[in-house]
Amino acid sequence: MNCFMCKGELEEKRVNYIVDLKETIIIIKSVPAKVCKQCGEQYFDDEIAENIERIVNKLKQLSAEVTIVNYKENVA
């Protein structure tokens, strides 16, 4: 699999995923992703994307201004 944007090579990395909602900002640390070596575009597997969604849905109910969590600790 190559980058959809620039056809560059992807590498496995851990990234910080930031969700900027109006009321709150959620930062999920160390999310496994494939990152383009050329343009930095990030890609997530379906399973990871689903987990991210679940974490975000859970955390946005906390209504804290900023919430920082670790991906691994929030995936059972």
Instruction: Tell me which residues touch Zn ion (CB under 5 A).
Output: 3, 5-6, 8, 36, 38-39, 41
Rounded to a whole number of angstroms, the minimum distance from the CB of residue 12 to Zn ion is 15
Rounded to a whole number of angstroms, the minimum distance from the CB of residue 4 to Zn ion is 8
Distance CA 24, CA 5 (A): 30
**C-beta of 4 vs 73, nearer to Zn ion:** 4
Rounded to a whole number of angstroms, the minimum distance from the CB of residue 52 to Zn ion is 21
10-20/25-36 β-pairing: antiparallel
Distance CA 65, CA 12 (A): 30
